[in-house]
Amino acid sequence: MIRLLVADDEDLVRGALVALLGLEDDLTVIAEAATSADAVRLTLEHRPDIAVLDLEMPPADGLRAAEEIRANSPIKIILVTRHARPGVLRRALSVGVSGFVPKTTPATRLAEIIRDVAAGRRYVDPEIAATALTEGACPLSDRELAVLRASRTGASIKEIAVQVHLAPGTVRNYLSAAMAKLGVGSRHAAAHRAWEEGWI
Partner 1 sequence: MRDVPVDPGAGLTNLRRSTWWSLIGVTVFFLALSVRSRIMDPAVPVAVRLAAVAALALTVTAVAVSVSRRLPHLPHGSPSVTTPVRWLVAGGAGSVMLGVILLALQDRGLWSFGPAMMVAITATFLSPRRRRLLIVTAAAGVAVLGGITGRGSVLAAAFPAGLMILSGWVTLGMLWAWDVAERLNAARRLSAELAVKDERLRFAAELHDIQGHHLQVIALKSELAARLAEADPSRAAAEMREVRRLAADALRDTRAVVQGYRRVTFEEEIANATRVLTSAGVDARTKLDPALPPGPGRHLLGLVVREATTNVLRHSHARYAEIEYRTADGLARLTVTNDGVSERPDADTGTGLRSLAERLPTAGGELTWRHDGDRFVVTARVPIEEM
Closest C-alpha to 76, from 116, 110, 31: 116
154 counts as binding partner 1 under rule CB under 8 A: no
User: Is residue 131 a contact point for partner 1 (CB under 8 A)?
Assistant: yes
User: In the set 11, 26, 45, 127, which binds partner 1 (CB under 8 A)?
Assistant: 127
Name the residue type at position 172: R
Question: Which 3 state secondary structure label does DSSP give 16?
Answer: helix
Min dist. Cβ of residue 196 to partner 1 (A): 6
- Sole window of 5-13, 50-58, 61-69, 81-89 interacting with partner 1 (rule: CB under 8 A): 81-89
d(Cα 48, Cα 197) in Å, to the nearest integer?
31
Contact stretch for partner 1 (CB under 8 A) within 26-34, 35-43, 55-63, 89-97: 89-97
- Return phi, psi of residue 24, to 5°: -80, 135
Check if the beta carbon of residue 85 is closer than 8 Å to that of residue 63: no
User: Considering the complex, what minimum distance in angstroms separates the CB of residue 88 from partner 1?
Assistant: 10
Whether the CB-CB separation of 84 and 134 falls below 8 Å is answered with no
Binding footprint of partner 1 on the chain (CB under 8 A): 83, 86, 89-91, 93-94, 102-104, 106, 122-124, 126-127, 129-137, 180, 182-185, 189, 193, 196
